[in-house]
Structure 1
Amino acid sequence: MRTTEQWSSKIGFILSAAGSAIGIGAIWKLPYVTGINGGGAFFLIFILFSLFIGFPLLLAEFVIGRSTQKEAVSAYRSLAPTTNWHWIGKLGVLTCFLLLSFYSVIGGWIVIYFAKGLFGGIISEGVDYALVFNETIGNPILVIVAQFAFLIITVLVVSKGIKNGIEKVSKILMPALFILFFILIIRSLTLDNAMEGVKFFLAPDFSSITSQTILYAMGQAFFSLSVGVSVMVTYSSYLSKKESLIQPAISIVTMNLFIALLAGLAIFPAVFALDLEPAEGPGLLFVVLPAVFDQIMFGEVFLLGFLALFLFATLTSAFSMLEIIVASVVKGNEAKRTKFSFIIGALIFAVGIPSALSYSVFADILIFSKNIFDAADYLVSNILMPLGVLLISIFVTRKISKSTLREEVLQHSRLGASAFTIWFFIMKYIIPLVIIVVFLDITGILDKIIEFF
């Protein structure tokens, strides 16, 4: 069955898909995982994974979705009937469910900070912003209420559908986010000792690279681009057959890397200028932002504006995660959308409560030395997403005819057959090999190779 809605324009699709990709992945997560994993070397590896693994995968998911015009599970079933390959779509749905369960916790943190900003309760002279953050996420009732509020907003928008919900919001919010980022970067770069932060972020120290650095960089690339979970299969199923697939893929990867660069240039100069710890962890952004805006005239106003846009960028990612789940249930029957949006939202909220309480009530519960929140993040980013990427690369090159792939990839594009040949080779041989080597590095082979060089 053909999906009942489509994007009203190519720019609407690009901004919505970019909103899915950018969100917390580029703004919240990239700075802190970069800080934990040594800075510039990690960022460089992240860029390489985004370009040479993420981009081909993004294009592959576009091919699956646009060629079938179906949501994730039905798309795989349509291309490979009477097989079990549709479980790739189900794996994506499960991954998005788990991802949104802890992602909504971070969204709740932003809701709290935004609410505090409305009443001028964030910036204050002599405040220890790290302590404020720890006290905030350590308040069990507050974080659960905030997580609930974030999910309610997400559910309401997704329940409105594609054109009137996701696309309309994304067209307004994504451009505004870039403007606020530039203001933050200008101030961050003019702080004393800011260049030390720039060096940390952009000057690679290859001696700091380990197999964990590579694994986390790969997971971050997949997380940032929303690949491996079939979100882009569902989003591209709403795209007209008249549109090129290559141009949106290039635009999304470029925007994602640009936002990642902006996030690093906004955060790390301030980290070093304010003598903070780059390996702060998940709270890095919430500690640095108030400290930077504290140095700016009318900083409270600018901080509130940035928090608003950060919240909206986070929501655009949440929209995509909920959309793939809802779309897989309603299967084009839009009459069911509102009902199932709320039911699924409620289930995600319930599953996310342990993550929300990971820094308070459940702080002592550890899974492989990680709290529940970090364990959920690790499971999604470093196990389920790479697994999804591996399966998609195998599926695309072995279950879809080469002629169909060539037609979809090159349609309305100026690129020739050689570009398709390179893409196909990367998908069939390079990506599976990279995933297997990095993902299954149980014996420490990567560390031995790194030590050799």
Structure 2
Amino acid sequence: MDTNREQWGSKLGFTLASVGAVIGIGAIWKMPYIASKAGGGSFFIIFLLITFIVVLPILIGEYIVGRASQRDAISAYKVLAPKTHWNWVGKLGVLGSILVLAIYSIVGGWIIAYIIKALTGAVSHIDEGQLALQFGLTTANSATAIAGAAIFILLNIVIVLQGVNKGIERISKITVPILFILLIFLTILSLTLSNAVEGLAHFLKPDFSAINSKTIILILGQSFFSMSVGISLMVTYGSYLNDDISIPKVSAFIALLNVLISMLVAVAIFPALFSFGVEPYADSGILFVVLPSIFNRLSFGSFAFVVFLVLFFIATFSSSLSLLETAVAPFVKRLGSRTFATWVIGGIALLIAIPAALSFGSWSNFTIFGFTIFEVIDYVASNIILPLGALLTALFVGFRLPRKLLLDEFTKSSNLGKKTFFIWLLSLKYIAPIAIILIFLSAIGVLPF
């Protein structure tokens, strides 16, 4: 055990940092679309079940790997399984973290640009067609796209340079409560729209006829990605945990908050969409074109849109901090200092982000197998690295680690007994891997749904 390793200052700080890590892009622009396709209320019922039965066991497993080893995402597997190749799970996670960070930096740059546009009135009082044109011009502007991504990554570097306790934990104690406050404000505002309550009730009414194999796969994928399992992020966060925290209890609390936030996002967005007869879809346009057009029709709409953009920025930024920390931690000792490691990894992420950002503008005609650079990076990270990393983590924890170690970590600082432990282990070893394999095979087109 690394006795000199930095640790979280408090249970609250760790919990808020973890919540910040799981609230990202997918919860805001993918969730409304998937929920609408999966029968509204029935989506949340199945989402809740899958989160606790399938995804939560892997989240607990990642925390256990981190705390038991007290090492970074790569070294953790070397400590727990020496002289094996299991450390490639950590390497895969670090690669995935850098790729996802590059994607987040591009979207974060767009948000920064739009906050400026919203404050200056550039996107106020114009129709949806003009908003679509404005969004196209923003993403196609190479200077704006690169500058936005660079500013976003620089902000990440500034926080991560301060370390876990003084950097990530301290900023999470500020940003995550603000995120909740803004989300509640938007929820209340949305519910004041005409026919909003009726529209929300219609949406939340479970429609199990909309549930089929395809929608189940969509919900599985949304649950995995929204909890950030599969890229060793929680292995890294778990390595800063002390023995006073019950991993299963805090993991269940984080999972519950994730479901709650997803529901709040739905309540904040769907009344507005349905009040104006707009269909949700899984694309960045819902944030930068559709929602602004709706806000423009409301009293104080410009102010509400700024609030929404700040909310979205906080969600994106809090998630990106965990991504950068996961990628930086393995190189702190290797490169001699946290400062040098943070700048190097941040620089690499920016170098990846630049061509991906340009794929919306000057490099839009450059494709790989018909996909732009942005689409390739997004596909590799979301559809390959995430599910593969989650699968390998479940197999490693379930079949490779000693049962005594798992039992000790699972029951530490809690009154949970062996019965709960064996239920968790059963889910981790068998239910979760089967679910992940279904997602993976569906994503690559092997399964016909």
TM over 0.5: yes
Choose from 134, 137, 142 the match for 1:135. 137
Worse overlay, 295-304 or 266-275: 295-304
Is residue 103 of structure 2 the alignment partner of residue 92 of structure 1? Answer: no
Give the fraction of aligned pairs with identical amino acids, expressed as a percent: 44
Question: Which residue does 2:251 correspond to in 1?
Answer: 249
Report the residue type matching 2:111 in the other structure. I
Q: Could you report, residue by residue, the CA deviation over 1:294-314 in whole angstroms, capped at 9, with x for unpaired residues?
A: 355443334333322321221
1:2 and 1:288 map into 2 onto residues whose CA distance is: 51
Long gaps (5+) in structure 2? none
Q: Could you report, residue by residue, the CA deviation over 1:108-165 in whole angstroms, capped at 9, with x for unpaired residues?
A: 1111112223333332254643333233222222111111111110111111111111
1:410 and 1:387 map into 2 onto residues whose CA distance is: 28
Choose from 225, 228, 232 the match for 1:226. 228
Question: Which residue does 1:30 correspond to in 2?
Answer: 31
In the alignment, is the contact (CA less than 8 A) between 1:104 and 1:150 conserved in 2?
Answer: yes
Report the residue type matching 1:111 in the other structure. I
Question: Which residue does 1:81 correspond to in 2?
Answer: 82
In the alignment, is the contact (CA less than 8 A) between 2:187 and 2:264 conserved in 1?
Answer: yes
Tell me the number of residue pairs that the alignment of Structure 1 and Structure 2 aligns: 446
1:376 and 1:36 map into 2 onto residues whose CA distance is: 25
Change (3 A) 1:369 1:255: farther
Change (3 A) 1:344 1:223: same
In the alignment, is the contact (CA less than 8 A) between 2:103 and 2:378 conserved in 1?
Answer: yes
Question: What displacement does 1:247 show?
Answer: 2.2
Question: What displacement does 1:369 show?
Answer: 5.1
In the alignment, is the contact (CA less than 8 A) between 1:177 and 1:306 conserved in 2?
Answer: no
Report the residue type matching 2:397 in the other structure. V
Worse overlay, 197-206 or 58-67: 197-206
Question: Which residue does 2:387 correspond to in 1?
Answer: 386
Change (3 A) 1:439 1:19: same
In the alignment, is the contact (CA less than 8 A) between 1:158 and 1:322 conserved in 2?
Answer: yes
In the alignment, is the contact (CA less than 8 A) between 1:20 and 1:318 conserved in 2?
Answer: yes
Question: Which residue does 2:357 correspond to in 1?
Answer: 356
In the alignment, is the contact (CA less than 8 A) between 2:220 and 2:435 conserved in 1?
Answer: no
Report the residue type matching 2:274 in the other structure. F
Is residue 152 of structure 2 the alignment partner of residue 150 of structure 1? Answer: yes
In the alignment, is the contact (CA less than 8 A) between 1:438 and 1:446 conserved in 2?
Answer: no
Give the 5 Å matches for 1:25-424.
25-34=26-35, 42-124=43-125, 126=127, 128-194=130-196, 198=200, 201-209=203-211, 211-279=213-281, 281-331=283-333, 336-367=337-368, 370-424=371-425
In the alignment, is the contact (CA less than 8 A) between 1:43 and 1:217 conserved in 2?
Answer: no
2:365 and 2:213 map into 1 onto residues whose CA distance is: 28
Change (3 A) 1:254 1:292: farther
2:152 and 2:167 map into 1 onto residues whose CA distance is: 16
Question: What displacement does 1:94 show?
Answer: 0.7
Long gaps (5+) in structure 1? 448-453
Question: What displacement does 1:204 show?
Answer: 4.6
Runs of 4+ with deviation above 6 angstroms = none
Q: Could you report, residue by residue, the CA deviation over 1:59-80 in whole angstroms, capped at 9, with x for unpaired residues?
A: 1111111111111111111000
Is residue 13 of structure 2 the alignment partner of residue 18 of structure 1? Answer: no
Question: What displacement does 1:387 show?
Answer: 0.7
Change (3 A) 1:395 1:417: same
CA RMSD of aligned residues (A): 2.5
Q: TM-score, normalised by structure 2?
A: 0.91
Worse overlay, 245-254 or 420-429: 245-254
Question: What displacement does 1:268 show?
Answer: 2.0
